[in-house]
Structure 1
Amino acid sequence: MSTSNPSIEDVEKGAAMDYAHLTNTTVHSFSWENVTVTVKDRKTKQPLEILSGVNGIVEAGEMLALMGPSGSGKTTLLNVLAHRAATAGATIQQTLAINGAPTSLASFRKLSSYVEQEDALVGSLTVRETLHFAAQLALPSSLSKAERKARIEGLLSSFGLYDQADTIIGTPIRKGVSGGQKRRVSVAAQLMTSPRILFLDEPTSGLDSAASWEVISFVKELAKKHKFLVVASIHQPSTTTFELFDKFLLLSKGKVAYNGPVPGIKDYFAGLGYNMPLYMNPAEYVIQLVNTDFTRSSTKSSQQLEHLHTSWSGSPNAALIAHQIQAKSISHDSTATLSTTHTTANPLTLPLTLVHRSFIKSYRDIVAYGIRIGMYLGLAIMMGTVWLRLSPTQSNIQSFTNAIFFGGAFMSFMAVAYIPSYLEDLALFRKERANGLYGPTAFMVANFVVGVPYLFLIAVLFSVVAYWLGNFAPTASSFWTWVMWLFLDLLAAESLVVLLSSLIPIFVVALAATAFANGLWMCVGGFMVQPEALNVFWRYVFHYIDYQAYVFRGMMVNEFGSRNYSCEKLEDGGCFCMYPSRLQDQCLVEGRAVLESYGYGTGDVGRYVGYMVVIVFVYRVLGWVVLWVRKH
């Protein structure tokens, strides 16, 4: 895609158009009332409230900081407000309203965006490309190319990213933009759809105080200018960063200790007898006030917390918030048009957009396929030089068989190298799906399509080296048949990686599960123990669904189906043939005799290919099912 720099006039024009689409004229308030989340206590098995009757309201153009010590329930509250899963097995009681009226999940997602704590970005894309693909995935197809470009350029200008527009985000191997700039890219990408409500989960996590202020100040400026609402969970901000927020909601053990204007914190707590020391960071002081994890006297801290919670619930400030929520619900604005403020991209073009993005990643980021190609070429050289120029004699029949097993089994096993790249794609998918951009079908289709040419290239490169060095059946048709089997092997192995990594999206666990599965397939594939001799359980439960078994069969037929091997000549002029065949009087072993010893026939190749296609399809469908079930 083009990365040409527009003129200053184009940038100013784009920024002006961007301001027009960002400005919020429909959502005037977002309120929540009596948010209560209950789970079952692991020890007592009794109901335990992790949030208790939390109320709050944010007006257009305001920023609310959500804070509390670890375990206070702030992340749970943020997820509830954003219509996301609070916690597993939780019972949720809530009343959420926009402009005083409830709204559906579908409408809410069209009005809001959620920026995750971790920056789930494609590291090999540039900043401009990141925003380009965000526009392709999120914006309706009715928008013209010029409008999309203007929106992208406007966001680059608004977030101070114009000078870094053609810099990559950054990968483990290539350095990209700074941490603060990366957070701004994450926020800018979410603003592409012109959300009216923006949720930020720990937007300053991992940033120093200067970078934290930089990120929050950009959001603050845009929120004030374009009247959108911001709710952010934040951990220990500096004084200058904290003062950028308009409102502050303090939680402790699931209950509210304060909810009101940031400038009113000092006077409120002083009125309760907790005088803030001079020049102390207000955010730091109130967190220490409600944090009971490190206090020596549990009785005193419990009494203090009880005092803070009771004081707040009976305070005029709490009554004012309840009154504001009720006033909005009584005289709420019409929300009938809210669901039509934003339409999604054309679902038919989504897979193409994902394929385009993944293709750029795959050839720029050598971790995705470059390292794997190098690994497979190294394996090919090793295999070719170990089984170097085997002559077609009966003494080498076992060596040919060993090489066939090794080539197929270890090509499959080394597919574990794809796990890190897939987990990165999966994290991005989960973020974009949660924001309503696309579902598992588009993701799975794009993932498969992008992998096909690279896996075919790997199969060809491996075969060019290993096949001819090993002196397998020396015909073009046999060579390309070998390539086909390795390609199907890699397709199945990568599909297995996708399934297991989707099921267990933790690198070490996914790696162990995939290695175990490949070890199992090696054991029951028919090489270690011939199929007829396999234990009944292993044969009928696992052997017939083992893709490595069909690869081994197909490659064995490819090598031995139409090739003969010389027997050992005896001193008396006779021959000793290890495998009796119709050619033994010619001092030859017919390759088909080797196949018969394994119970393989030359006429079953078509069925084997069909079985491989079915196995790949089933793995991919099961992977899709896992992604579909795990909606959050």
Structure 2
Amino acid sequence: MPAAVAQGSPGDVVVAIDVPHDAGKVPRDSDVMGETPPEVTVAFEAISFWVPATLGPPSTFSKDGLKRLVPGMAKATKETKDDMRQVLFNIRGSCEPGEMLALMGPSGGGKTTLLSLLGGRAPKRTQQDGRVTFNGSRLNKRVKRQIGFVLQDDLLYATLTVQETLYFAAMLRLPKHKTKAQKLERVDAVIKALGLERCRDTIIGDHMRRGVSGGERKRVSVGHELLINPAILLLDEPTSGLDSSAARKMVELLRELASSGRVVITTIHQPSSNIYQKLDTVLLLSQGHPIFYGKGSQAAPWFERLGVACPYGVNIADWILDLASGEVTGKEKTGEEQRLHLISVSEQYLEQQPGGYMGGGIDVEAFHSSGPIPSASRSRTPSRSSSSSGMGDLEAGEMSEVRLRPAAGTANVQGSRMDSTRVVDRSQTGLAAQKAGASRWGASYWTQFTTLFVRAIRVRRFETLSQQDLAQFLCVAAVCGMIWWQVGQTNTVYGAQNTTGLLFFEALFLAFRTMFVSLFCWPQEHKMMTKERASGMYRLSAFYLARSASDIPADLTIPTIFIAITYLMAGLRHGGYFFLNWLSVMLSTLVAQAFGLFLGATVMNAKTAQTICAVIMLTFMLVGGFYVTNIPVWIGWIKWISFLTYAFNLLLKLEFGGRTFYDCSLQQKDFNPSDPWNYVASGQCVEVTDINAALNSTTDLNGPKWEAAVLIGFLIVSRIAVYLALRFKTKP
């Protein structure tokens, strides 16, 4: 039923939209969600976009990467539009509650770029003209929390089940005033609404572990965003990788979600004719230029009136994609000439009639004339089947009367009578009504920390105490124990020299292994962190603390087993010194882990980080005090930034400090170093007054507090550096 335009004072934007007689009844999927989403109109005006001429993000250590690291340097050397490549050209349009807008076009046409701009996720090092508004207002963080963004790649944890994936998302994203029981009800409602009951307890899976199907995985991604009952749902290629049946069901689901009053905007590539018929509005892009914007059913008539007709029996979706690619010739034009002509016509039309649909009863001759477009064709076609009439371009804070009407798709399902008597102020509904009480974060800080801590443990449940790691540490510990068997039980210089080698290996082996393992942590999590931070799921500090806390038990359990076996077999110092030795090695290991995390977070490329890490660790090893003691002055400063130097010195002080050692080799030519106790007991050995000289060491064996304090300082500074690197690298 056409919407009637109410009369108002000049300059007012007043739109009357029909309301069903039983408007108080919540649409079907809103009943499932438990509450009606706020009404939001998304408008984009004269959008143009530029990207760097060189593809890909800059390396951290490249010229462009250093510009981003040094404050103010990037602004001082900011790229101009002349140095960049334009990928979007003066695109206009809007999408209203109850409407599904499909962004179509060949690959490289700018669909995903435009979708990212609408969701406030513009890539870095880019420039933009035009504006995107939500009920007339610019995007802010509170509005952003009402946007659900489904990426083309399903970024989900492979080891979590469907239930766990949605549960953790609900605990983080739903408002803090909701109880845990209410959040669980929302999870159950989403699972039922998306038809995921059968795979509720199945893991997501990946190429290593079998999990849910591709269609189910995509529905989980949609459900992840549907949990917050978003007013706006943006999807990038939701049918990509799905068979025809799964793709049709996905579009039907999106149509159903839109019918409850949501804005649904999706990119879609090569839809079938059946899927194309379910689309409300189509925006067709050709190399960043719009060549059609209107109802999908009006595309063929529009192009036919412009001199190029779709052949009978050809899928209209395939044909318009060929048209946008310049592969359809006209009567007098080649395919490329035809494409450029359509771009010119489209841009002229949209510029003279912003927000208007193409198609309908447009007079092509009048349109091609130099004068303005006739008023009869300046408004959106009021008879479109699945969305309310156009809102126009509302300025921020402008008051406008709107008569609410759910989408026609819902009205058809319910078969209700129309009523036009309910009038409300849009500025007092939807997001505007929620803005004052809305919070930037869904959950409290403590809830975020505990939820992320449990999730991190669940994600790593297949990695914790793996048989391979356990076998590796047991074998190395046994070999070390046999090589250094009871070497610490003798108070001889010979035994002390051998013990020195064991202590250095103990610190080096665990630090080396831990640092290399930690390199992979953030590069593997990078995309997930960027996605979740862009959705406003949690504070980065809560995620960082939770992930760090969850890693400690798994990362320290096996090294503890290694130390216990080696320490006992080597017969090192008895008493509480075992605990001090363990504490020192664990501190050194945590510092090495923090160094590895920092490298991984800074570079975000595991292969590059491995190369850098190998150079750093080998350098630290050489200057650690075991291989070389007299290092040239011009390079000797490196040892003071090597955590291995302090860890090795700390272990030496704990093992040798306050002990008396004997040199037995001076008195007996036939001295047997494997059995020195007979010589010590018989008084045939000489007491050593300077064990440092005997060990060729410059370390003062008294007072281990300094080394411990330096290692703790290294740990604190490096952990803070990791957080700052993550904050920079994953900034939405």
1:51 aligns with 2:88: yes
- Asked if structure 2 preserves the Cα contact closer than 8 Å seen for 1:524 and 1:538, the reply is no
Give 1:36's aligned residue: 48
Q: Post-superposition shift, 1:267? A: 2.5
**Match in the other structure for 1:462:** 562
Residue 614 of structure 2 corresponds to residue 515 of structure 1: yes
The CA distance in 1 between the partners of 2:546 and 2:261, in whole Å, is 37
Question: How far apart are 1:251 and its partner, in Å?
Answer: 1.6
How far apart are 1:494 and its partner, in Å? Answer: 1.7
Structure 2 distance, partners of 1:155, 1:271, is 45
- Equivalents in 2 of 1:283, 1:442: separation in Å? 46
**C-alpha spacing 1:397/1:234, structure 2 compared with 1 (3 Å):** farther
One-letter amino acid matched to 1:345:
A
| Structure 2 partner of 1:504 | 603
* 1:136 paired to 2:147: no
**1:357 equivalenced with 2:394 (yes/no):** no
Q: Any idea what SS the aligned residue of 1:519 has?
A: helix
Question: Does structure 1 residue 26 correspond to structure 2 residue 39?
Answer: yes
Larger mean Cα displacement after TM superposition, 88-97 or 200-209: 200-209
What's the offset of the Cα at 1:519? 2.4
TM-score w.r.t. length of structure 2? 0.75
Residue 383 (structure 1) aligned with residue 383 (structure 2)? no
* 2:392 matched residue in structure 1: 326
After superposing the two structures, state which structure 1 stretch, 513-522 or 247-256, moved more.
513-522
| Greater shift in the superposed pair: 611-620 or 113-122 | 113-122
Deviation of 1:115 after TM superposition, in Å, equals 1.8
CA distance in 2, matches of 1:567, 1:286: 93
**Higher mean displacement: 587-596 or 238-247:** 587-596
Letter in 1 for 2:43: S
2:464/2:554 contact within 8 Å kept: no
Unaligned runs of 5+ in 1: 1-14, 577-581
Out of 517, 525, 533, the residue aligned to residue 417 of structure 1 is: 517
- Report the 3-state secondary structure (helix = DSSP H, G, I; strand = E; otherwise coil) of the residue aligned with 2:265: strand
- Is 1:259 matched with 2:288? no
SS of 2:283 mapped into structure 1 = strand
Matches within 5 A, 1:55-454: 55-85=92-122, 87-99=123-135, 101-171=136-206, 173-224=208-259, 226-291=260-325, 302-315=336-349, 319=353, 321-322=355-356, 323=379, 324=390, 326=392, 328=394, 332=400, 333-334=426-427, 336-340=432-436, 342-343=438-439, 344-362=442-460, 364-366=461-463, 372-390=469-487, 392=490, 394-395=493-494, 397-415=496-514, 416-454=516-554
Partner-residue secondary structure (3-state), 1:251: strand
What SS does the corresponding residue of 1:97 show, helix, strand or coil?
A: strand
Take 1:572 and 1:158, find their aligned partners in 2: how far apart are those partners? 87
Letter in 2 for 1:454: A
Give the secondary structure class of the aligned counterpart of 2:576.
helix
Change in CA separation of 1:280 and 1:460 when aligned onto 2, cut-off 3 Å: same
Alignment-derived partner of residue 625 in structure 1: 724
Q: Which amino acid aligns with 1:195?
A: P
Q: How far is the alpha carbon of 1:186 from its aligned partner? A: 1.4
Identity, % of aligned positions: 28
User: Partner of 1:602 in structure 2?
Assistant: 701
**SS at 1:155 equivalent:** helix
Q: Is the 8 A contact 1:110 1:342 kept in 2?
A: no
Residue 437 (structure 1) shift? 1.7
Larger radius of gyration between Structure 1 and Structure 2: 2
Letter in structure 2 aligned against 1:35: I
**Cα gap change, 1:472 to 1:231, in 2 (>3 Å):** farther
Aligned to 1:4: none
Using the alignment, how far apart are the partners of 1:408 and 1:249 within structure 2? 62
Secondary structure in structure 2 of the residue aligned to 1:568: coil
SS at match of 1:124: coil
1:568 aligns with 2:665: yes
1:348 aligned partner, one-letter code: W
In the TM superposition, residue 442 of structure 1 has moved relative to its aligned partner by 0.9
SS at match of 1:64: strand
Q: Find out whether 1:557 has 2:653 as its counterpart.
A: yes
The 1:91/1:564 distance shift into structure 2, 3 A limit, reads same
For the residue of structure 1 that corresponds to 2:145, the secondary structure is helix
Provide the C-alpha distance between the structure 2 equivalents of 1:216 and 1:342, rounded to a whole number of angstroms.
Answer: 31
Distance 1:97 1:479 in 2: 65
Q: Partner letter of residue 60 of structure 1? A: P
Segment of structure 1 superposing worse, 202-211 or 562-571: 562-571
Give the residue type in structure 2 aligned to 1:618: V
Judged with a 3 Å threshold, the aligned counterparts in structure 2 of structure 1 residues 396 and 148 are, in CA distance, closer, same or farther, namely same
Structure 1 residues 216 and 594: CA distance shift in structure 2, 3 A: farther
Taking the aligned partners of 1:563 and 1:303, their CA distance within structure 2 comes to 94
Aligned length: 601
More helix by share: 1
Q: CA deviation at 1:435?
A: 0.6
Find the residue that maps to 1:114 and give its secondary structure.
strand
* Contact kept in structure 1, 2:47 and 2:129, CA below 8 Å: yes
Whether the 8 Å contact between 1:18 and 1:151 is mirrored in structure 2 is: no
| Partner-residue secondary structure (3-state), 1:598 | coil
Q: Could you report, residue by residue, the CA deviation over 1:72-125 in whole angstroms, capped at 9, with x for unpaired residues?
A: 22222111111112x3322212222223x1134113212212122222222222
CA 1:385–1:281 in 2, change beyond 3 Å: closer, same or farther? farther
Offset, 1:275: 3.1
How far has the Cα of 1:300 moved from its partner?
Answer: 5.0
| Separation in structure 1 between the aligned mates of residue 310 and residue 481 of structure 2, nearest angstrom | 75
Q: TM-score, normalised by structure 1?
A: 0.86
Deviation at 1:472, TM superposition (A): 4.2
Cα RMSD for the two superposed structures: 3.3
Q: What SS does the corresponding residue of 1:52 show, helix, strand or coil? A: strand
CA distance in 1, matches of 2:574, 2:218: 56
